Structure 1
């Protein structure tokens, strides 16, 4: 493997490593596999997928809080459509092993912070009323019913 290729051109490095691993898989002896970085990149793929699911769940909660805090906003229809899209994307990407890694309380706290950054006086519940399963299965109205009416 060319020295420093991983740092200079990760795409070229990944293509070279994939080729080496395929050759190794076919029984050929190869010596250039960059095992440390290959292992790190494989792990990063999984973490990237986890972060993607967490992002969709966070966005769902932000939009649910917006609907709750500003129920008369002209953006409500748009927010509802986005909640459905975020739910579908999260369901498609969620792998069984991710469930125990998702910290829904932290994601909810982040959503509250995002709402309060735009409106420090926004009245949002301090405690997370959602579970991962509810966010993935319940429709928007059912999820909104878990939030107390904003006053």
Structure 2
């Protein structure tokens, strides 16, 4: 394999490295494994999955904040469906080892910032909860209605 393949064609590089690893696993001698990049790519796979889950959770929070801030918006039905979709995607990719790397307060802060000052349907939103009213477990497992109720202002 030519030098620099990692930088020019990551797909060809990964196929070649996978072939070399399979050969190594069978007990063959291989000399041109790109160990530094193989290790980096393995680490990046985990980080990519973690970032995907974080993104789905943040998007859920943004849509829950929109539902709380503009409950009568014509877009509310769409936001509800988005919460369900993002939750499904997060559930599919979530692994228990990710829990310690998910800072829900930081994700909520980013979601609040994204909604801050927004005007939807020409209206400012209702005041948002200062602290995230749900847990990570809630975001991953509660149904959409229960999540929405958690964001509702107490009477």
TM-score (norm 2): 0.90
What is the alpha-carbon distance in structure 1 between the residues aligned to residue 77 and residue 132 of structure 2?
Answer: 24
Write out aligned runs for 1:119-138 (5 A).
Answer: 119=119, 123-138=127-142
What is the alpha-carbon distance in structure 2 between the residues aligned to residue 121 and residue 134 of structure 1?
Answer: 24
What is the alpha-carbon distance in structure 2 between the residues aligned to residue 106 and residue 122 of structure 1?
Answer: 21
Deviation at 1:35, TM superposition (A): 0.3
Q: Show the counterpart of 2:86.
A: 86
CA contact 1:57–1:86 (8 Å) conserved in 2: yes
Q: Please, which runs of 5 or more residues in structure 1 have no aligned partner?
A: none
CA contact 1:130–1:146 (8 Å) conserved in 2: yes
Deviation at 1:141, TM superposition (A): 2.0
Matched, 1:4 2:4: yes
What is the alpha-carbon distance in structure 1 between the residues aligned to residue 132 and residue 67 of structure 2?
Answer: 16
What is the alpha-carbon distance in structure 1 between the residues aligned to residue 48 and residue 30 of structure 2?
Answer: 29
Deviation at 1:25, TM superposition (A): 0.8
Q: Please, which runs of 5 or more residues in structure 2 have no aligned partner?
A: none
What is the alpha-carbon distance in structure 1 between the residues aligned to residue 140 and residue 6 of structure 2?
Answer: 38
Deviation at 1:122, TM superposition (A): 5.3
CA contact 1:115–1:122 (8 Å) conserved in 2: no
Matched, 1:142 2:119: no
CA contact 2:69–2:125 (8 Å) conserved in 1: no
The secondary structure found in structure 2 opposite 1:128 is: coil
TM-score (norm 1): 0.92
Q: Show the counterpart of 2:71.
A: 71
The secondary structure found in structure 2 opposite 1:100 is: helix
Count, aligned residues: 150
What is the alpha-carbon distance in structure 2 between the residues aligned to residue 20 and residue 56 of structure 1?
Answer: 35
Q: Show the counterpart of 1:100.
A: 100
CA contact 1:61–1:111 (8 Å) conserved in 2: yes
What is the alpha-carbon distance in structure 1 between the residues aligned to residue 135 and residue 145 of structure 2?
Answer: 15
